Every structure is written in C-alpha cells, then in structure tokens.
Chain A
Amino acid sequence: MSYKFQESMSLAKPDAQDLTLKQKISIFIGFTGLFILILSLFNIDFPHKSLFLGLALGCITFGTILFSNQIYLKKSKGIKNDGVWFKSISSKGFLGWVTGVTLTLFYIVLYFYPYLLGLGEKGNPNTGLIALFDPLSSLLNGHDASQWFVYGTLYTLGILVFGYKFILKYRHNRYQQLRTSSVMFFQLAFAFLIPELMSRLNSESFSLPYYDLKSIWPLNYYNFEKYRIDEFINAGNIGLALLVFGVISIFIITPILTYKYGKRWYCSWVCGCGALAETVGDPFRQLSDKRQVAWKIERWVIHSVLVFVILMTTAVIYSYLGKDTSKYWLSKEVFLGLVGGLLSLVFVLSMIFKRQELGKDARYGAIGYFVIIISLMSIHFLDPHSKLFLFKAETLRTAYGFIIGSIFSGVIGTGFYPIFGSRVWCRFGCPMAAILGFQQRLFSKFRITTNGGQCISCGNCSNYCEMGIDVRSYAQKGENIVRSSCVGCGICSAVCPRGVLKLENGNVNGRINPNDILLGNDVNLMDILKR
C-alpha cells in the first residue's frame, strides 16, 4: 500500500501551508531569543546579564505569541488539526526526532551534569547559562540561580506561552480555555513564584523546605524525607501547617475531589507535569500508542511504580522514626502497623465491593503485590535485625530518585514527547496518577458519556487521546468511558465531529453501561439483547 501523502520525499509537498511574512518574522524573533540562551551555554559572558536574559525570554515569548496569532486568529473558530500528520515535527518525522533527541540530552545534562550548564560547584560562582539567570533568581529568592531555577523558569515560560497558543487554538471551547488558564495559574503561582518567594523568608534561624503546595505525595516522593520533616517541624506553626496540609491533601482533599470530578481536577487542571503536557506537549498528543498491548503494559508498569514508591516512602519514614512510643506516639512499629493496616483495608474493601469491576490481571496484580508487601513486613517483625523490604532505606530512596524521579519522569517522560506523545510519564509512570486512577475507576462520579447511536467510528477521539485510550472502541458501542488513566482533558469531546462525547460528573449508578445494541434500532431488539 502506498500513499503519496505519507511520503515526505514527495516533490509535491502535501503541507502546502507556506509561512506568511509575519510568521517568518516571529520565527526570527523567537529563535533569536533561544540563540542567546544557546550562546550563553558556550560560556559567553554577557555584559548586562539582566538585559540579555530579559531579551532572550522576551523574544521567545513575543515570537511564540506572534506566531500563534498568525496561525489561529486569521482562521474561523473550530478544530485546527489540518496537516498534523503531514508535519515533520508532529508525525515523528525528522524534526520530531531532532527535537526528541535534543530534549533528552538536555534532561541528561540537567539531571546528571549540571556543571555543563554552568552550575558553579564548591562555592564557585555560576557561569554560562545558569549565570545568565542569576539576576532573576536573586530578584525572586535572593540567591544565585541553580540548574533547577533555570529549568523551573523555562518550564513555567513554556507553559505560559504555549498555554496562550493552546487557548487560541481552542478559542471556541470554554472548557479548554478555563482548564488551560487554570494550569497556567497553578504553574506560575504555586510551582514557581510562591516557593521562590517563600525561600526569601528563610534566615539562619528559620527555614522552610522548597514546597510546591500542589505537588502531592507520591508525585512529590521526597515530601516526607527526614531533612524536610525536620525543617517543617523546626519552622514552628507555619511549618507544621504545611506538613499537615501535605498529609491532608493525600488522605482527605484528593479522595473528595476525585470522587466528585474524577482525576482531572488534578491531572489536567492543577498538576505541573500535566500542564506541560497540555501546552508544550499538545502538538504531540496524537503520538500516544493506542494498541491494546500498550494498555496492558501501562497497567503493570504504573502500578509497579506505585508499589515501589509506597515501599520506598515507608522505608524512609521508618528509618528515622524512634522506637520508643513513650517519647513520641508515632514509633517505627506503630507506623508500620498503620501502613499495613491501611493497605489491608484498601485491599480488602476493593476485593469485597469492587471485585466484579477488576480485570483478571488487576486481581492477580493486587493479590500478588499485597502478599509481597505484607510478607516483607512480617519478615521484618519476626527478625528485627533484617532490613525492612530487604534493602536499606537510603538505597531504595536513591534508586527511586534515579530511576523514577529522573530517568522516567524527566528524560523519558518529557524528552520523548515528540516520539511517544506528551503523557508517557502520566500514563506509564506517575504513582499519583495511579492512585487517582484507582479512585476514578472505582469510586468516582466522573465518566465520559457517549451520545446514543451517533458515533461514526471516525477515530478522531482515539487519535487525539494523549493517554492512548481507544475512546472510539467505547463510543461506537454506545458505552460510557470509565478508565483509570483518563485525565479528563476533554479533547476527545472537542474533536468529535458528531457531538458524541461529553465529560460529566453524574450518578454513580449506571455509570458503566455495556451496550450490545446502540440506540436507533427498534425497542424490542434492544430489550432482547439487554436481557
């Protein structure tokens, strides 16, 4: 089978939409800004750092805004996916691969070789790219920049400017506009400005850990490490309040909001990873793997990461707790008992009340992991000299930070945007998404409703699902979509040409509705098959 339109060597270029003059100008401006950043990588010492930093970030912002205006404002409101699968950048073509490789290398340098970016080591001043950000950093937090400050700034800038682009692209769709405004706000305020300004309050006698309030354990897997707990506790009431908030957000806020709205309240309205995926990653959403085998892998991988983070966090907290309950009520043994009790409770309740809704592999997986965790705990109880979960807590923590925190969420999760799509981390790796997804699948009012018999199986919904859900396979059966991985971005509903899909929070009864016969046929036939 040969399709001319899929061959990039074609003399007749299928994406005939040539750039306008204004678009060329905006590309020039944007890349000038980027070029300043690249120059600084080569240790070029700009004389007026604030000026050049402002120029670089300003040019990038202005260029992107101008370019977006050119693409979208001249056209009528509506779905703007023309040529998505023709463009090299968005269809795993040459530009896609170049971008993917560049991003991946950037992440490797960022995580493991920050001095290549100019991070001053052993008290030496910053140079290069990181030094360029020193003025902004000292303006906000009073210190020189770190590689994380540089990354955080670029990350936030990316979400803001590409968020603007996204809002223009969907300017007929209020759900998309409000959702995107929300992630832009949470990124700018909660992830970027507030923690930076908070660290201004720090002094010799008072110190708060860097805390992005919307980043909840287990996404924020280090939130309960000893140094942070010490800082929280030493910071008095404010610190304690933050610590309590961290715990409440896991056990109270999250379950309530997920019950009412599904996991989307977090994943596509608040979360920073989601924010990047929905804005910078939007041109790549169609690249997610829709095959059934990818779904099977997803279920095993993401839940394994969840088990890993629970083991790791338990081991870490356990390691610094005391043994004597008379000094403080939360001792090693009490803590372990609480963890074991909570896990057993969740396990038993799900198995009793929701067993019918769990797939075979989900049951096997749950039983398997439950048995492993409980037996590891029992081994430790029987032989207190053995290490909890066989490894030293520190080893588990470092391994998790390296494999999951750096490689999975950063290098693969974002670096591979142009190859695997924008939500690889959220789909395969994020333990927070696993917990929210578990709640969403079993204890939530959220679903995507399908509209009677109106589906024409066109496949736009599946194609543009960033989580790789085969939405069409449900819609063409007239069945609601209730999937743990759905982040509720609402794009399936937006791109549907027949008005078939609607994200809703409704009655829990009848939320899952397998249909053999769709609406449209005579009533007897539907009755016969429903029986």
Chain B
Amino acid sequence: MEHVVIIGNGISGVTAARHIRKLSSKRITIISAESEYFFSRTALMYVYMGHMKFEHTQPYEDWFWKKNNIELIKGFVKTIDTNSKTLFFESGNSLKFDKLIIATGSKPNKFGWPGQDLKGVFGMYHKQDLESLEQLAPNNKVCKRAVIVGGGLIGIELAEMLHSRNIPVTFLVRESSFWNGVLPERESQMINRHIKGHHIDLRLSSNLKQINSDENGHVKSIIIEETGEEIACDLVGLTAGVSPNIEFLKSTEIEVNRGVLVNRHLETNIPNIYAIGDCAEQHEPIGNRRPIEAVWYTGRMMGEVIAQTICGKKMSYNPGHWFNSAKFFDIEYQTYGWVFSKPKENHRHFHWKHIDDNKCITIEYNTITSEFLGINTFGIRMRHETFNTWLNEKRDIDYVINHLSEANFDPELYNCYENDILITYKNQLQKA
C-alpha cells in the first residue's frame, strides 16, 4: 500500500491527510515535533487569556485519528534522503515514504538584533512559545513590563494577551502607523487609536536597536533606535513576521529559496515530494498574492488541493478571490477581494467610518470601469459568499453599495449602517 507521509500537523498537513483519507485507503502518517495532536495555532492566544484550555484548541477528539486510520508520530525530522525516500529523525529512527508532503509551517523572524537570544526574549508562534510565555509572564509582578517588536497581526494579539493579565505593554512598530503596509491610512489610524484606548504604549516609527541583559543573561531593557530611549522590561516579544520553517531541508536535494519552491501543482523539484502551507514558495506569484502565503486559509486550501493530486486527480493550486480576517482587540476585521494600502493606478478608495470610531469600511474600485475590487470591513461582519459572487460577477461599486445589506452578517437585531454608508457614498460622489 502506498505510504503518504506528511511532515507537520498544522492546518495544511491535517487538511491534506483528512482529504486523502476521504478519497483513498492509502497509509497516512503525520509527523510533528510540536504536539501530539492537531491544534488550532490561532487559538493559542485564548489559552493564555484563560478563555480556553489547551485541549479545547484541538478540533478533533483523540480517537479521531485512530478511527480514520491516520498514524501520528511525535518526532523531529532531521533530514531526508530523497533517493531512498527515507526520513531520518533526530532520535535516530527512520521512516520510508512513497509520497512526502512537507507542511512544516513557519518560525518567527529574528533580524540579528543584539541580545535577541537572551532569556526573556521570545517569538509567539509555537505551542512551546506559549509555555515559555507562561513562565516568563504569568502576571504583572513577575513581568512588570513587556516590549513587543513588530506591528503585525501576531504583535497586536500578543499585546492583547499580555493586556488580559494587566501587564503593561510597549509596542514598537517600525511603520508610521499600525500595519499600514496592508491597511489604508485611515483604517490603520483607527486601529492606532483603538490600541492606545487599551492603554498600550504604542510607539510608531520605532525600531529596536538592541536588547540589554542583566547579570543573569535575562533581558533587562531595550533601546529604541530612533530616540536612543531605554525602556526597562522583563519580556521582549519578537513579532516581526514569520518565515518558512525549513532549516532541515538545507542539506537535501529539495530546491529551496526562502521557502520550499513549488510549481502550481505544489510539486517540488523531486518527484513525489510536495510542499504546502506557510513553508511553500511559488516560483511565480499567483495574481496579487505573495509567493509565500503564511495564512491559515491558504494552508487549508493547499491541503485540499494536494489531496486530489496525491489521489490521482492531478490538480493545480488555483486559489479564488482573496479573503482574510483578524481581530484587533475588540474590533473584528474581514477583507474580501483586494484593498491595497494605497489605491493602485486608476483605482480609488471609498471610505466610511462610524462616529464611534470602532467601525469602518473601505472599498477599492476602478475609476474607469467602476468595477468593485475589494472591501475591508471593521466592526461589521460581512458575508463571504456574497462578496465572492459579486467579485465573480464583476459588479460595480454602485451595485455593491446599494446591495450592501444583502452582505450583512452581523447578528440579528443589530443596528444597520447601510443607509449611512449609502448617504456618505452619494455625498462623496457629488464632491468628486
């Protein structure tokens, strides 16, 4: 029987395994060094915040794997011999495979800052990171102040986590406004205000110069590049993005760049070896997407596709319209289609913000054709399926604004803002 081995038990690897099982009776083995069972990485924050226990982050009960005949191995793959199709574990064991899926995800970036390996410095990604955070910052007596370096999605979640235990946080953001490489300026500034509203010491346009050590090799303070200011702290969270977790492939014949290089079929340069999820890098970017997409949803989608290929229905990874979501403290964010931080050529943004400063939307559209290109929505839930249909049908912005209530996904009995949005839209048209 053909043996499919998957390295990595995150959403990509597990989705692949589940779909291969649906389509075939191949032998399936999932390997992970991080955890015994699949858990939702995005939910780790809620464990620290006390919303859930770790076991609640596991989407399947423990019996699920045996029942579906999916073997689990806890171990760290040291290297791969692609000729003999063998994995070698750190423990000295080895495992033969017929087909291999590499789904090892990411690791936090470190940019060579002085002091980045001190005790008390960590990146928030793995389950083990959560465990060390629990040691380093159980409360605000052990951890009197924390500094977070890097203004992305993990950074703001870490700020929320620490805030939940009343630990004062200084948040260093390299950019002039939070996540403004992705978010349009006015949205980004609304989030700035929201962050400050939660008493986070937000420092924009601030880079980390160095991390200072006390006599025990533990972090004592950090210094800001721009001002030279020293900030005393007990914890430094490095959240300046992630990069593919593929160190163990460096000595193999598998072709890598920043990630494992794959074609549109998610095949590497070696036959029968594939890569999916955060660790895969497309030779050519697909549309407006980046060659490496470190997003939950794309990992899941690649897992769905690779299962088809492995089970004999060769299929290329062909993602549909872009979508994503996040939550910034109390403000939920969803995006459908493409809204760029600055409108592309011949594009324009329509922006509406509610008076409470917690809700806004931005729509990007083409000024020549009026085609609707994408929406960012903050504090108002919108329907994925509706926007997917509108993007397929290439609706224009007039249509979208006039039918916005069809896309509303807020709970029943909530206040609606479609009328207000429509009025704002009409006023802007008159001005334009």
B165 close to chain A: CB less than 8 A: yes
B134 close to chain A: CB less than 8 A: yes
In this complex, which of B58, B131, B197 has the most chain A Cβ atoms within 10 angstroms of its Cβ? B131
Q: Given the known A-B contacts A454-B384, A460-B51, A516-B22, are A3 and B131 also in contact in the complex, defined by CB atoms under 8 Å?
A: yes
Does A504 lie within 8 Å of B61, measured CB to CB?
Answer: no
Interface residue from A3, A451, A458, A473 paired with B42 (Cβ < 8 Å): A458
Does B327 lie within 8 Å of A498, measured CB to CB?
Answer: yes
Does A12 lie within 8 Å of B142, measured CB to CB?
Answer: yes
State the CA gap A502–B409 with chains docked (Å): 7
Interface residue from A454, A463, A472, A493 paired with B323 (Cβ < 8 Å): A454
A368 close to chain B: CB less than 8 A: no
State the CA gap A173–B415 with chains docked (Å): 10
Binds B, one of A58-66, A273-281, A316-324, A520-528: A520-528
Q: Mark B249-265 against chain A: 1 for CB-CB distance below 8 A, else 0.
A: 00000000000000000
Interface residue from B43, B134, B319 paired with A457 (Cβ < 8 Å): B43
Interface residue from B56, B58, B334 paired with A454 (Cβ < 8 Å): B334
Q: Please give the distance in Å from B185's CB to the nearest CB on chain A.
A: 23
Does B414 lie within 8 Å of A174, measured CB to CB?
Answer: yes
Q: Please give the distance in Å from B432's CB to the nearest CB on chain A.
A: 31
B413 close to chain A: CB less than 8 A: yes
Does A3 lie within 8 Å of B54, measured CB to CB?
Answer: yes
* Chain A minimum-CB-distance residue to B388: A519
Does B138 lie within 8 Å of A503, measured CB to CB?
Answer: no
Residues of the B chain whose Cβ atoms lie less than 8 Å from the Cβ of A343? none
Does A10 lie within 8 Å of B138, measured CB to CB?
Answer: yes
Q: Given the known A-B contacts A472-B59, A525-B304, are A463 and B51 also in contact in the complex, defined by CB atoms under 8 Å?
A: yes
Residues of the A chain whose Cβ atoms lie less than 8 Å from the Cβ of B56? 459, 462-463
Q: Mark B40-54 against chain A: 1 for CB-CB distance below 8 A, else 0.
A: 101100111111111
Q: Given the known A-B contacts A5-B48, A174-B413, are A12 and B43 also in contact in the complex, defined by CB atoms under 8 Å?
A: no
State the CA gap A524–B305 with chains docked (Å): 11
Q: Given the known A-B contacts A5-B134, A521-B318, are A13 and B413 also in contact in the complex, defined by CB atoms under 8 Å?
A: no
Does B40 lie within 8 Å of A83, measured CB to CB?
Answer: no
A360 close to chain B: CB less than 8 A: no
Q: Given the known A-B contacts A78-B330, A459-B59, are A175 and B384 also in contact in the complex, defined by CB atoms under 8 Å?
A: no
Q: Given the known A-B contacts A16-B166, A521-B318, are A463 and B52 also in contact in the complex, defined by CB atoms under 8 Å?
A: yes
Q: Please give the distance in Å from B117's CB to the nearest CB on chain A.
A: 23
A356 close to chain B: CB less than 8 A: no
Does A520 lie within 8 Å of B139, measured CB to CB?
Answer: no
Kindly identify, within residues 82 to 107 of chain A, every residue whose CB is under 8 Å from any CB belonging to chain B: 82-87
A17 close to chain B: CB less than 8 A: yes
State the CA gap A454–B42 with chains docked (Å): 13
In this complex, which of B43, B304, B382, B411 has the most chain A Cβ atoms within 10 angstroms of its Cβ? B411
Q: Please give the distance in Å from A126's CB to the nearest CB on chain B.
A: 44
Q: Please give the distance in Å from B310's CB to the nearest CB on chain A.
A: 14
Does B412 lie within 8 Å of A4, measured CB to CB?
Answer: no
Q: Please give the distance in Å from B162's CB to the nearest CB on chain A.
A: 11
Residues of the B chain whose Cβ atoms lie less than 8 Å from the Cβ of A375? none
State the CA gap A5–B142 with chains docked (Å): 14
State the CA gap A5–B56 with chains docked (Å): 15
State the CA gap A231–B40 with chains docked (Å): 59
State the CA gap A258–B65 with chains docked (Å): 38
B11 close to chain A: CB less than 8 A: yes
State the CA gap A409–B43 with chains docked (Å): 35
A161 close to chain B: CB less than 8 A: no
State the CA gap A3–B323 with chains docked (Å): 35
A225 close to chain B: CB less than 8 A: no
State the CA gap A13–B140 with chains docked (Å): 10
Does A476 lie within 8 Å of B59, measured CB to CB?
Answer: yes
Kindly identify, within residues 453 to 470 of chain A, every residue whose CB is under 8 Å from any CB belonging to chain B: 453-454, 456-460, 462-463
Interface residue from B19, B139, B334 paired with A499 (Cβ < 8 Å): B334
Judged by DSSP, the binding face of A is loop
B385 close to chain A: CB less than 8 A: yes
Q: Please give the distance in Å from A184's CB to the nearest CB on chain B.
A: 16
Residues of the A chain whose Cβ atoms lie less than 8 Å from the Cβ of B51? 79, 81-82, 84-85, 460, 463, 495
In this complex, which of A173, A498, A502 has the most chain B Cβ atoms within 10 angstroms of its Cβ? A498
Q: Given the known A-B contacts A16-B141, A504-B412, are A499 and B61 also in contact in the complex, defined by CB atoms under 8 Å?
A: no
Does B43 lie within 8 Å of A458, measured CB to CB?
Answer: yes
Does A81 lie within 8 Å of B40, measured CB to CB?
Answer: no
Residues of the A chain whose Cβ atoms lie less than 8 Å from the Cβ of B313? 528
Interface residue from B40, B139, B301, B334 paired with A459 (Cβ < 8 Å): B40
Does B334 lie within 8 Å of A16, measured CB to CB?
Answer: no
A354 close to chain B: CB less than 8 A: no
* Chain A minimum-CB-distance residue to B47: A5
Interface residue from B53, B164, B320 paired with A83 (Cβ < 8 Å): B164
Residues of the B chain whose Cβ atoms lie less than 8 Å from the Cβ of A525? 304-305, 308, 315, 318
Kindly identify, within residues 390 to 432 of chain B, every residue whose CB is under 8 Å from any CB belonging to chain A: 409-415
Does B332 lie within 8 Å of A4, measured CB to CB?
Answer: no
Does A16 lie within 8 Å of B140, measured CB to CB?
Answer: yes
Interface size class of B (residues with CB under 8 A): 35 or more
B192 close to chain A: CB less than 8 A: no
Does A521 lie within 8 Å of B301, measured CB to CB?
Answer: yes
State the CA gap A523–B301 with chains docked (Å): 12
Q: Given the known A-B contacts A174-B415, A459-B52, A521-B318, are A292 and B40 also in contact in the complex, defined by CB atoms under 8 Å?
A: no
B26 close to chain A: CB less than 8 A: no
Residues of the A chain whose Cβ atoms lie less than 8 Å from the Cβ of B54? 3
Residues of the B chain whose Cβ atoms lie less than 8 Å from the Cβ of A13? 138-139
State the CA gap A220–B53 with chains docked (Å): 38
Q: Please give the distance in Å from A199's CB to the nearest CB on chain B.
A: 36
Kindly identify, within residues 194 to 214 of chain B, every residue whose CB is under 8 Å from any CB belonging to chain A: 197-198
Does B409 lie within 8 Å of A499, measured CB to CB?
Answer: yes
Interface residue from B52, B139, B197 paired with A16 (Cβ < 8 Å): B139
Kindly identify, within residues 120 to 162 of chain A, every residue whose CB is under 8 Å from any CB belonging to chain B: none
* Chain B minimum-CB-distance residue to A498: B325
A494 close to chain B: CB less than 8 A: yes
A490 close to chain B: CB less than 8 A: yes
Does B329 lie within 8 Å of A520, measured CB to CB?
Answer: no
B57 close to chain A: CB less than 8 A: yes
B381 close to chain A: CB less than 8 A: yes
Residues of the A chain whose Cβ atoms lie less than 8 Å from the Cβ of B319? 520-522
State the CA gap A82–B48 with chains docked (Å): 9
* Chain A minimum-CB-distance residue to B377: A499
State the CA gap A473–B426 with chains docked (Å): 43
B300 close to chain A: CB less than 8 A: yes
Q: Mark A287-302 against chain B: 1 for CB-CB distance below 8 A, else 0.
A: 0000110000000000
* Chain A minimum-CB-distance residue to B48: A5
Interface residue from B131, B296, B318, B384 paired with A524 (Cβ < 8 Å): B318
Q: Given the known A-B contacts A12-B141, A76-B330, A521-B304, are A490 and B323 also in contact in the complex, defined by CB atoms under 8 Å?
A: no
B109 close to chain A: CB less than 8 A: no
Q: Given the known A-B contacts A458-B57, A502-B411, are A12 and B138 also in contact in the complex, defined by CB atoms under 8 Å?
A: yes
A394 close to chain B: CB less than 8 A: no
Given contacts A77-B330, A520-B323, 20 further A-B contacts (CB under 8 A): A3-B134, A4-B134, A5-B50, A5-B134, A5-B138, A13-B139, A16-B139, A79-B330, A453-B301, A454-B323, A456-B325, A457-B11, A458-B52, A473-B59, A518-B301, A519-B320, A519-B384, A520-B301, A521-B301, A521-B318
- Cross-chain pairs A/B with CB under 8 angstroms, 21 sampled: A4-B131, A15-B50, A16-B141, A16-B165, A17-B165, A17-B166, A78-B329, A81-B51, A83-B50, A84-B50, A85-B53, A87-B50, A451-B409, A452-B383, A459-B43, A490-B411, A498-B327, A521-B304, A522-B319, A528-B308, A528-B313
Chain A interface residues toward B at CB < 8 A: 3-6, 10, 12-17, 76-79, 81-87, 172-175, 178, 291-292, 449, 451-454, 456-460, 462-463, 472-473, 476, 490, 493-495, 497-499, 502-504, 516-525, 528
Chain B interface residues toward A at CB < 8 A: 11, 19, 22, 40, 42-43, 46-54, 56-59, 61, 131, 134-135, 138-142, 164-166, 197-198, 296-298, 300-301, 304-305, 308, 313, 315, 318-320, 323, 325-327, 329-330, 332, 334, 381-385, 388, 409-415
Q: Please list the 5 inter-chain residue pairs (A to B) with the smallest Cβ-Cβ separation, ordered nearest first.
A: A452-B384, A78-B330, A522-B318, A499-B381, A16-B139
